[in-house]
A and B are shown apart, each in its own frame.
Chain A
Amino acid sequence: MIDAKSPLLALDRLAVAYGGIQAVKGIDLAVGVGELVCLIGANGAGKTTTLKGICGLLPVKSGGIRYGGDDITGRRSFELVRRGLVMVPEGRGVFGALTIEENLAMGAYIRDDRAAIREDVERVFALFPRLKERRRQTAGTLSGGEQQMLAIGRALMSRPKLLLLDEPSMGLAPLMVQKVFETIIAVSREGVTILLIEQNAKLALEVSDRGYVMESGEITLEGEAATLLHDPKVRAAYLGENP
């Protein structure tokens, strides 16, 4: 196993099941402090299930999750947010009936430092000027790409230590995808640790430090992102190249 120095997040034979169906079959995975790690794999491989298991949205069947040195297995999601573990769910999950400002306010729900919160709202607006123009409109009126920006901005409002991103580029036009990835890199440079799930394996590996490949609930490959990018198996299966 690749050793991540002082891992912030470490999965130890994590298994997550839907009733009798085991979707994640005992995986080991680690993300070091400050790292950008991606988890790639085909549809239905179990990537979303893994994230939901980590952040307490699905019960863990066996195995453990360590975060910042503590065992957080079975903790509920709202408690984890207070510890800096924040997920941007697949399909964004913005509150469509709330305004953009209210969505951002909910991102900062755990915080009480009003002045600093206001500064962070401005930082999000600086990152995504489109959101600023429409700050008082409901999030349901935003385009898919704008909603994704709002979802990322909202997650940043909690000042996370570890950000879990579930397919942030899904369904976006190429220009938007680029914008989203630029944002991910910028956030990572600020020192936020990121675990990124992506269908777009090429882009994900290009921006990541390390990567994991998941197939039907198991980790089949792992390594330096640059190495995986040139791995013939990865190229064949996920980068759409013929061997």
Chain B
Amino acid sequence: MAQRPDNRGAEHSAPIVDTFIQQLVNGITLGSVYAIVALGYTMVYGIIQLINFAHGEVVMIGAMVAYTVIAALVGAHLPLPPLAILVIATLCAIPACMAVGFTLERVAYRPLRNAPRLAPLITAIGLSIILQNLALIIWSRSPLPYPQIIDTVSYHLTPHANGATITNVQVGIIGLSIVMMGGLLLLVYRTKLGIAMRAVAQNSQVAGLMGIDINRVISLTFVIGSGLAAVAGVMDGTYYGVAHYQMGFILGLKAFSAAVLGGIGNLGGAMLGGLLLGVIEALGAGYVGDLTNLCHLSGWSSSLAQRCADDPHLAVFGSNYQDVFAFIVLILVLVFRPSGLLGERVADRA
């Protein structure tokens, strides 16, 4: 599907440290996007114990809306700098996604708030399919190429000529993510709305007795998470240069894994989990080929030696296995530490 920039790491001749740093940079970039998406899962879970499986599709819609705006602005040949186009596109994607998030909660989840837990879960999966198909109808079945309006500039991180680099796009993604995470933490821990969100998460009935309109707070939680998702969608589209109606599925699943890794319901956990998952994935993708390289075994088999002469990268698992790591992590966490890295023990919640 998408082309992943730099995922194969630096050139073969680059020092080992450079390869490592390069994968780290790629992983942190990817992880920033996961973290922003994971926050949406974890905020909703924290407040109504619902896994909003349609959240990945909200990210996709953000990417799609931004694509449409960018394409239109580029097509109109306005004298706008590329960054302005990107900002305008993001500012269009945010309210669109907020509206989708608000509608999902209002129409689909709220009527099921006191239903058995399976009902909203199945609804979430159904909504995810509905949104994918809507996107397919509105946009296209095939991947939409993001117009490459930003000239990629690479900055060297080490003195080696073909060593590790970081691009301006990566700097932008990481920087914007840090700003959004900081803003969210300020909102949740320093404002009245944030305290109310945590109060509703703890005990919604008592929160009601304080005069807090629970429905409004839950709506706002969806809206904020969806706004973050919109930005994540634009970042993902810009980074990979493509948007697709199914892009939210894997991205959502990975971000969900990140939220579980960090401890679902915990904001810091979602951030940590997202970053860790991105790094694990990038390092995994960077090294799995080397670690499972069959050419180490060339001395044992002449036919293998022959094939390695043609393809020195011959490996059991190539870097296209990178998607697997998220799910290996998810399974390991669920088996060994279901509450996640920063999560409270389940008994404390009840």
Given A105-B192, A106-B207, A109-B192, residue A95 in contact with residue B199 (CB < 8 A): yes
What residues of A have a CB within 8 angstroms of the CB of B208 in the complex? Answer: 56-57, 76-78
B296 to chain A, nearest CB (A): 52
Nearest neighbor of A77 in chain B, beta-carbon distance: B208
CA distance in complex: A56, B211 (Å): 12
User: A37-45, A64-72, A81-89, A120-128: which one contacts chain B?
Assistant: A81-89
What residues of B have a CB within 8 angstroms of the CB of A93 in the complex? Answer: 203, 205-206, 209
Query: Could you tell me how many residues of chain A have their Cβ less than 8 Å away from some Cβ of chain B?
Result: 24
CA distance in complex: A109, B214 (Å): 12
Name the residue in B196, B199, B202, B209 with the highest tally of chain A Cβ atoms < 10 Å from its Cβ: B209
Given A110-B211, A154-B210, residue A98 in contact with residue B196 (CB < 8 A): no
How many contacts A-B (CB < 8 Å)? 64
**Contact pick for A81, options B198, B199, B211, CB 8 Å:** B211
- The answer on a CB contact under 8 Å between A81 and B209 is yes
What residues of A have a CB within 8 angstroms of the CB of B207 in the complex? Answer: 95, 106
Name the residue in A76, A78, A93, A107 with the highest tally of chain B Cβ atoms < 10 Å from its Cβ: A78
CA distance in complex: A102, B212 (Å): 14
- The answer on a CB contact under 8 Å between A158 and B202 is no
B213 at the interface (CB under 8 A from A): yes
What residues of B have a CB within 8 angstroms of the CB of A95 in the complex? Answer: 198-199, 202-203, 206-207
**Contact pick for A89, options B198, B202, B206, B212, CB 8 Å:** B206
A155-209 with Cβ < 8 A to chain B: 158
CA distance in complex: A97, B47 (Å): 14
B324 at the interface (CB under 8 A from A): no
A129 at the interface (CB under 8 A from B): no
- The answer on a CB contact under 8 Å between A86 and B209 is yes
**Contact pick for A109, options B202, B203, B205, B211, CB 8 Å:** B211
**Contact pick for A107, options B202, B203, B210, CB 8 Å:** B210
A93-116 with Cβ < 8 A to chain B: 93, 95-98, 102, 105-107, 109-110
**Contact pick for B199, options A55, A86, A106, CB 8 Å:** A106
B119 at the interface (CB under 8 A from A): no
- The answer on a CB contact under 8 Å between B205 and A106 is no
A-B CB contact pairs (8 Å), 7 listed = A81-B210, A89-B205, A96-B202, A98-B199, A106-B210, A107-B210, A110-B211
A interface with B by C-beta (< 8 Å): 55-57, 76-78, 81-82, 86-87, 89, 93, 95-98, 102, 105-107, 109-110, 154, 158
The 6 closest A-B pairs by CB, nearest first: A81-B211, A93-B206, A110-B211, A77-B208, A106-B210, A95-B202
